[in-house]
Amino acid sequence: MKALLLRIGIDKGTDGTLGPIFEDESFEFIPMSESDLHSKENRTYKNTIGRHGESFATYLPKRIENRILHDDPEFETSTYGDATAKRSYLLKLQNGDLLAFYAGLQPFNNDKFNTALYLIGYFTVEGVIDFNQLSKTDIETSYKLYSNNAHIKRSRPPTDLVIVVGNKRSSRLLSKAVPISQSKPDKSGKPTQAVSEEMERLLGISGFIQRSMPPRFITNPDKVDNLKKLLELY
């Protein structure tokens, strides 16, 4: 068994802000915005209600409140899709592996937490579909099976699409966020999010993880067990 750590959600590069973390360690997972304005998705930050009963727009700058969501991963039917260079990492996942998600969060109405990267959820992998390897008939079938995925909702789903399907019974958003980063200066001296010393010890990974590339694999069984404990799988 192995695990892949992948950054998701709204960030300063896509929409100029981060999702909120609250004083009790709970959070809202807010997706990044959709670049395909002809997507079948009709949810926006303004009309989508989060787990805390408030519109996503409550936590975001007003200038982006009407942007459409790119809800990926989606935890209703447990799918995550990608058609970029990350696809090669996703294709290495197998049934039973873990796909762990982390996101940038910033404190909302509290000063208890730092703006940082936090573990926020996971999939236990049930399958990985490489659309480049499917026949036209199988592609059409997959479009129906995974219609809830943000990439399938696009006006023209990408040909390089890979979709990871999670086991619905063992894939979820966490109730409380788990910090995994600390601020460190990069080569230019700019503050950047890097793996915290505690997570270096627990997970066996290191370096800057502010960007989504490259995702990090964890293969050491003891380190995977540590990750499972952080995700409350034990």
- pLDDT (tens digit, 0 to 9) for every residue of the chain, 234 residues total? 999 999 999 999 999 999 999 999 999 999 999 999 899 999 999 999 999 999 999 999 999 999 999 999 999 999 999 998 999 999 999 999 999 999 999 999 999 999 999 999 999 999 999 999 999 999 999 999 999 999 999 998 778 999 999 999 999 999 999 999 999 998 888 889 999 999 999 999 999 998 878 999 999 999 999 999 999 987
Is there a contact between 71 and 196 (Cβ–Cβ < 8 Å)? no
> What is the pTM assigned to this prediction?
0.95
Which residues 6+ apart lie within 8 Å of 109 measured at CB?
Answer: 22, 23
CA distances from 62 to 17, 19, 27, 67 (A): 11, 14, 20, 10
